[in-house]
Amino acid sequence: MSAPTTTSSARQAQDYLAAVEHELADLPVDDRSALLEDLSLHLDALAAEEDDRPITVRLGSPAAYAADLRAAAGLPARPASAPAAGVLDRVRTGAAFRRALAVLRGTGHLVRDLRPAWWVVRGYLVVLVPCLVEGDGVRDFPVPAPLGNPVLGALLVVAAVAGSVALGRRAFPRPVGVLVAALGAVLVVAAAAAADRAWDRVAVTSAYAALPVPDVPTESYPLYSRYGPVTDVFPYAPDGTPLEGVLLYDQDGRPLKVGFQEWWPDGCLRTLDQPLAADGVPVPNSYPQSYEVGAPGVDAFGNQVAAGVCTEDLPRPEVPLPTFTTAEPGTD
């Protein structure tokens, strides 16, 4: 039986507060907010008392209470209002309108309470958005990694959050405050666009990486290891010097061929660029293989990508090379 009573008391308090606010409508916003805040605290205290009498009985009519607030604060009395009783006035004094005002007021309090959280998010987005725009932006969440360095990104996030909090705690003139809010909205829109673009690249790269590959040697992938198809060979000299344009043959003198490298870390499509012999015929057993990106770059499904995205190449692997001993003079 206590829940309906509590709900009824809360609604009475909201209606009373809205009615008093209507009586104070002619006052400046700051004065009106201060008076209403005191009344709100007073109503909360009354709600804790075990008194079932209506609020109007305990505090008097909203008009009289508003007049007492004006007098106590040294503010002028409410000017005489015109005897208008039109539709707009009836709406303003209706219970539904007062309840809507109470909801809006509660929403405003919630927004103000969440401002510190927005300051933290704003600082984080300042660092994250530029990283998401980069070609490797898909690897910058949740820790941004500018220049490929997540430690640097974490330090920048800490600095940006500190600056954003300091900015949020400052009081600015109204035009500057509006500008800061507008820039924050632009930052949110840019973050959404960058995240959508990064997600598309993740989807394309994942789909491309999931393309089926054979599990046994085939005509397209003639060289196969226990790790899968071989698509390139990187020869080195005994002293560890990388060799370019090396021709490889098998034990019977046949050109050693490998498969086509289909998937790349940036998701862009590349074409094989083999060197040509004197007769103009491509030399497929020249290693390492050379690939080139078309202009403009496209992804695995033929969709054009933004400039600067297709920049990654398959790097030469870092491998431990053996140390060869040299024979001493005069020894066999």
Q: Which residues contact 26 (CB under 8 A, 6 or more apart)?
A: 78, 79
CA distances from residue 170 to 122, 179, 182 in whole angstroms, order as listed: 15, 14, 16
Q: What is the distance between the alpha carbons of residues 19 and 273, in angstroms, rounded to a whole number?
A: 80
Quote the pLDDT of residue 156: 92
DSSP helix/strand/coil, 174 = helix
Quote the pLDDT of residue 1: 41
**Structure-token match 């008391």, residue found:** 9
Q: Which of 214, 190, 90 is nearest to 131 (CA)?
A: 190
Cα of 26 vs its chain's centroid, Å: 43
pLDDT in tens, the chain (332 residues): 444 456 667 777 888 888 888 888 888 877 888 888 888 888 887 777 777 788 887 888 888 888 888 888 888 887 765 444 445 555 555 566 667 766 776 676 777 778 889 889 999 999 888 888 765 544 677 888 887 788 888 899 999 999 999 988 888 888 888 898 899 899 999 888 888 777 766 666 666 556 566 777 888 888 888 888 898 999 998 888 899 999 999 999 999 999 888 777 777 888 889 999 999 999 999 999 988 887 777 876 677 777 777 776 767 888 888 888 776 555 55
The string of DSSP letters for 214-251 reads -SS--SSS--EETTEE------B-TTSPBP-SEE-B-T
Which pair of structure tokens corresponds to residue 240? 């560890």
Backbone angles phi, psi at 312, to 5 degrees: -85, 150
Quote the pLDDT of residue 282: 92
Which pair of structure tokens corresponds to residue 209? 């990486």
Domain residue ranges in the chain: 2-93, 114-209, 216-322
Quote the pLDDT of residue 201: 65
Backbone angles phi, psi at 296, to 5 degrees: -75, 160
- Estimate the crossing angle of helix 62-72 against helix 29-48, to 10 degrees: 120
Quote the pLDDT of residue 3: 47
Question: For 147, which DSSP code?
Answer: G
Q: Which of 138, 157, 149, 153 is nearest to 205 (CA)?
A: 138
Quote the pLDDT of residue 213: 64
The bridge status of strand 246-247 relative to strand 224-225 is: unpaired
What's the pLDDT tens digit per position in 259-279?
888 777 777 888 889 999 999
Backbone angles phi, psi at 96, to 5 degrees: -65, -40
Quote the pTM value. 0.39
Residue 226 sits at the vertex; the CA angle it makes with 224 and 231, to the nearest 5 degrees, is 40
Q: Which of 169, 165, 145, 148 is nearest to 156 (CA)?
A: 145
Q: Which of 89, 78, 159 is nearest to 124 (CA)?
A: 159
Q: Which of 97, 20, 28 is nearest to 62 (CA)?
A: 20
Which pair of structure tokens corresponds to residue 5? 């009573």
Q: Write the secondary structure of 264-326 as one string of H (helix), E (strand) and C (coil).
A: CCCCECEEECCCECCCCCECCCEECCCEEECCCCEECCCCECCCCCCCCCCCCCCCCCCCCCC
Contact criterion met (CB below 8 Å) for 305 and 299: yes
